[in-house]
């Protein structure tokens, strides 16, 4: 291990993902439909379609569904969980935690800690990072970390094409019970204002091309490169890699810059089918990878959040991946369960008509 090893975050006792679950709404808005409204069909679209939350769905309801899937996957009683953390940039309440509702709904309360996390699109991975520390210190046995978001894009803005809804839940616990053990993690953060939304504003603003460089690529590449250097690994030693997915091109380009082949990222690259699900983007990609992975497979996961920062994780799949209990929805199940909608229905579902 190199001289930068002091920056590697590794717990005192081994920690892994003992349960995981995704949730994606069934409604899909094609990119071509957005282009039809705003450009007359000219210019194309950055993704084929995006997932849209329905009238009765928000971050709370979707987080509950993902949490229930994670619990079924883990085969543990919710009362054994000591913390529920929900990362999102679209919490339904400005003052009222999402996490307490989720904890109550899955039967984990009241003997529990709960909190909401925010860091743009890496709020979910921040919650995972903190959970590794708490479980790894021996302070608690299980923590549920969730990354979940609903679409937020100003009508006609470039974000509207990709801002999707959905996310994933990871139950962190002892390595011996895990589907994948976390070998180490690393975070890279700077004050880069590429994307923001002030209090009281309905839609976020962004720095257009600035969001690629020096924002997404500088942080993603720096975090991934540093972690691999500290773990003494190269891209060739990973079976899978998954990155934050604001569109299809960004993660594909980042993977190429780091030396990964297209087949290493294909299993977790879901942006074309569901859009950018913000806080759950790389997390939901990891659920798809875990659904397909085999024991011994090695995975690199790298999140990105505007403002700006990246969390990178090195994971090793265990034998337990062969024994996933029946009846748990896979990520592929949610992607296949789709109902196309038109732009007018999308406007109604996402309350786009403002006074």
Residue-wise pLDDT tens digits, 154-164: 898 888 999 99
What does the pLDDT read at residue 206?
Answer: 75
* Burial (CB count <10 Å: 0-12, 13-18, 19+), residue 242: buried
More confident residue, 1 or 188: 188
A 10 A CB-CB count for 153 gives 22
Is the pLDDT at 348 greater than 90? The verdict is: yes
Give the mean pLDDT of 83-105: 96
Average pLDDT score, the chain: 94
Q: How far is CA 135 from the centre of its chain?
A: 20
Is the pLDDT at 56 greater than 70? The verdict is: yes
Is the pLDDT at 352 greater than 70? The verdict is: yes
What does the pLDDT read at residue 212?
Answer: 72
Instruction: From the candidates 91, 206, 219, 244, give the one annotated as an active-site residue.
Output: 244
Per 3-state DSSP, the chain is made up of helix, strand and coil in percentages (nearest 5) of 40, 25, 35
Indicate the SS3 state at residue 181: strand
For residue 40, what are the contacts with CB-CB under 8 A and spacing of at least 6? none
What does the pLDDT read at residue 355?
Answer: 62
pTM attached to this predicted model: 0.95
Is 121 catalytic? The answer is yes
What does the pLDDT read at residue 214?
Answer: 86
Look-up of token digits 């070998």 = 183
In 93-238 the beta strands, taken as DSSP E runs, fall at: 113-117, 143-149, 166-174, 180-189, 195-196, 205-206
Tell which residue, 337, 339, 331, has the closest CA to residue 69: 331
Is the pLDDT at 1 greater than 60? The verdict is: no
Instruction: From the candidates 33, 89, 126, 160, give the one annotated as an active-site residue.
Output: 89
Instruction: From the candidates 121, 160, 229, 273, give the one annotated as an active-site residue.
Output: 121
């Amino acid at each position: 291990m190199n001289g930068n090893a002091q920056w590697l975050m590794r717990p005192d006792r081994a920690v892994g993902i003992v349960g995981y679950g995704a949730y994606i709404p069934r409604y899909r808005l094609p990119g071509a439909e957005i282009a039809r409204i705003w450009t007359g069909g000219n210019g194309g679209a950055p993704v084929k379609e995006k997932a849209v939350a329905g009238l009765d769905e928000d971050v709370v309801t979707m987080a509950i569904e993902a949490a229930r899937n994670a619990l079924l996957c883990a085969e543990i009683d919710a009362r054994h969980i000591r913390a529920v953390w929900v990362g999102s940039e679209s919490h339904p309440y400005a003052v009222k935690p999402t996490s307490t509702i989720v904890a109550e709904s899955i039967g984990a309360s009241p003997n529990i800690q709960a909190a909401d996390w925010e860091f743009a699109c890496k709020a979910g991975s921040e919650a995972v990072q903190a959970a590794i520390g708490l479980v790894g210190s021996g302070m608690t046995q299980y923590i549920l970390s969730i990354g979940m978001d609903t679409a937020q894009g100003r009508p006609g803005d470039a974000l509207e094409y990709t801002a999707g809804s959905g996310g994933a839940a990871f139950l962190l616990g002892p390595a011996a019970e895990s589907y994948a053990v976390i070998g180490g993690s690393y975070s890279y953060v700077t004050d880069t204002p590429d994307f923001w939304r002030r209090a009281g504003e309905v839609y976020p603003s962004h720095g257009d091309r600035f969001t690629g460089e020096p924002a997404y690529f500088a942080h993603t590449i720096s975090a991934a490169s540093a972690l691999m250097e500290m773990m003494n690994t190269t891209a060739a030693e990973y079976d899978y890699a998954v990155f934050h997915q604001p569109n299809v091109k960004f993660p594909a380009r980042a993977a190429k810059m780091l030396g990964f082949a297209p087949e290493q990222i294909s299993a977790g690259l879901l942006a074309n089918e569901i859009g950018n699900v913000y806080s759950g983007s790389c997390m939901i990609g990891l659920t798809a990878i875990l659904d397909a992975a085999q024991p011994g497979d090695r995975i690199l996961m790298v999140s990105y959040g505007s403002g700006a920062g990246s969390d990178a994780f090195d994971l090793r799949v265990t034998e337990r991946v062969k024994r996933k209990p029946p009846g748990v929805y896979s990520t592929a199940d949610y992607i296949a369960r789709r109902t196309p909608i038109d732009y007018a229905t999308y406007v109604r579902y996402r309350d786009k008509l403002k006074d």
